[in-house]
Amino acid sequence: MATAVPIVLLAVGGIAALALFILGLRMLPRAAFVVWAGVLFFVPLWVGVNLGFYWAAISLLTALLIVVNWSVVPLRAADAWVAVFVLLIVGLFGVGAVDLPSLVAAVLEWLIPYIWGRVVLARVRTDWVTNVIAAVAVIAAALAILEFLTGVNPFVLIPGSGVVYDTWSPLQERAGVFRAEGAFGHSIALGAALAMSSAFVVAVRWVLVAKIAGVVLIAVATVLTFSRTGLITLVITLALSTFLVPGVSKRFRAAVAVAGVAGAMIVIPIMDTVFGAAGDEAGGSADYRTDLLVLLSQVRLFGNPGEWQTLVAGDYYLGYFARSIDNALVLTLLRYGYVPTFVIMAAVVCASIMVARPSTRSPAALAVAGQLPSLVVVALITQYSMFFWFCVGLAITWARDAAGGPTHVDDADRRDALTDRVPGPSVIVPP
């Protein structure tokens, strides 16, 4: 009996602490978003819990934030595409054409971050989101540079789920040089996430020196991932953002252009040396991505093709590709089929085309547009996947109407500009 009392007190204290934490997430939405961004960039995927299936810390927090900060927002075309995709894969799961891991991955890594991107601007202002993502990304970039210089990645010292930890914690190297990967578990994931973040750094209203320093840190950290995908998407995103984000000064554009030329003169010889020394490893990595196209012969209209890993197609034993498919589009086709893949990619297109007009343009849309080439050369892995789908949802929410006026979400942001108070009841506004 004496032992049971302290246990009960600890349980009550734990429940009370959890309740206060949840209340804080509701009452302080700006602080809640800082916490979310911090977990996204600094808590590895292997930190999580098993609740029926594995929930990474970022997935669990995102779901919790959606629940406690739920707001009704105007529906857009992208929402219909996402809803149809979810209905399709749930139905296909019901008939055994989609397996449980694929269903769970779509819900936890795609759907939940997308919904968070759709509702977050009902609780915080767009400039707060921009500033927080930019600041957290710059800190992550600085830590990645420090990681490269010291050869120590502190994030791999964080214990976590066995299988997930064993998969993502081993450090990578190229030509004997360790590649920076931060808390993202993979250098490609870090490079792609930093490339997306560069759009937010360009959009922040920091002083000129701070903005340039932020861009330089992100660029250097991306170089140190030695990821061709990260570098290419960084160049695309920076180019789009520098010249398309409203309000960017001519001095900043000139500084980025000069820094880009100078950086290219320094980086290209370094990358050429590293990739040259990597030899077959780097070349094989590129050839492997081309070889993946043989898997298209296995894709069905709906659902997965079954045990394709045991087949031989031409000169290829398809089991060779089973462990890793570094092509988000091909992997989606194999998991869900042509029709569901077309439907979900339509939502990505909806977010990307927002960059076409100033009235719908945002850092989130520019980040998504800059990542389009990566979808055919890398998989959506670790937190990069969640950041990407968050930006898809955010871009849809951020977009203004064709007349250039603000959406009701942005109006709510302005009303709550100087306070973290809870907004009044939401209303449903026709799209």
pLDDT in tens, 49-75: 988 889 999 999 999 999 998 888 888
Predicted local distance difference test score (pLDDT) of residue 174: 75
* Cα–Cα distance measured from residue 28 to residue 18, given in angstroms and rounded to the nearest whole number: 15
Instruction: Decide if 193 contacts 384 (C-beta within 8 A).
Output: yes
Predicted local distance difference test score (pLDDT) of residue 414: 40
Of the CA atoms within 13 Å of residue 70, those in its CB half-sphere come to 6
* Cα–Cα distance measured from residue 31 to residue 38, given in angstroms and rounded to the nearest whole number: 11
Predicted local distance difference test score (pLDDT) of residue 344: 96
Predicted local distance difference test score (pLDDT) of residue 423: 39
* Cα–Cα distance measured from residue 200 to residue 320, given in angstroms and rounded to the nearest whole number: 39
Residue 101: burial class (beta carbons within 10 Å; 0-12, 13-18, 19+): exposed
pTM over 0.75, yes/no: yes
Element (H, E) at 316: strand 316-317
* Cα–Cα distance measured from residue 388 to residue 380, given in angstroms and rounded to the nearest whole number: 8
Q: What is the pLDDT along the chain (431 residues), one digit of tens a residue?
A: 445 556 766 667 667 776 776 777 777 889 999 999 999 999 999 999 988 889 999 999 999 999 998 888 888 999 999 999 999 999 999 999 999 999 999 999 999 999 999 999 999 999 999 999 999 999 999 999 999 999 899 999 998 878 889 889 888 887 778 899 999 999 999 999 999 999 999 999 999 999 999 999 999 999 999 888 999 999 999 999 999 988 888 888 888 888 888 888 887 777 777 766 655 555 556 666 677 777 787 889 998 887 766 655 555 556 656 666 778 998 899 899 999 999 999 999 999 999 998 889 999 999 999 999 999 888 899 999 999 999 999 999 998 643 333 333 333 334 333 333 333 333 333 33
Element (H, E) at 419: none
Candidates 429, 409, 356, 370; CA nearest to 118 is: 409
